[in-house]
Amino acid sequence: MTREEKFMLEAIALSKTGMENNDGGPFGCVIVKGDEIIGRGNNKVHCNNDTTAHAEITAIRDACKNLGSFQLEGCEIYNSCEPCPMCLGAIYWARPAIIYYANTREDAANINFDDSMIYQEMKADIANRKIPMVSLSREKALEIFQQWTTKANKNAY
């Protein structure tokens, strides 16, 4: 068994444990730096009453806390399933080196975790999205963006 398979089996085990505990859907994730697991997560949408508590988000929060950093540079992410659009966005923001996954988004759709509508919405023009999006007070908000560009002591990322 390769080291990658070993870590993937950990992610899959987390998916099973979370499912059995009724924490949420059958999804697990581990984050690895070097040869050490630095973050673990399973889907906790139900037990936390938190739509964002997917396995990857939970694992990213754990790993970042353990690293003392909001970045996961040099880390590997092992998911029991291909990340959903939300998780994929969070993973890109965290900047790991690689993502491994077991089940595909089609496999997830087959058990009623279908994200295809979200993928379609991301491609759609704002005016044609299912949930209306309305821009308000842009001028005031742009003032804060301008202040950010000149802020001397900002923590850029």
Question: Which phi-psi region, left, alpha or beta, contains residue 49 (left: φ > 0; alpha: ψ -120 to 50)?
Answer: left
Catalytic site includes residue 56: yes
Name 123's Cβ contacts closer than 8 Å, sequence gap at least 6: none
Specify burial of residue 32 (Cβ count, 10 A radius: 0-12, 13-18, 19+).
buried
Give the span between the Cα atoms of 66 and 34, in whole angstroms: 14
Give the span between the Cα atoms of 4 and 77, in whole angstroms: 10
Q: Name the amino acid, one letter, at 41.
A: G
Give the span between the Cα atoms of 99 and 84, in whole angstroms: 13
Specify burial of residue 5 (Cβ count, 10 A radius: 0-12, 13-18, 19+).
exposed
Give me the catalytic one of 56, 76, 121, 139.
56
> Which active-site residues does the annotation give?
56
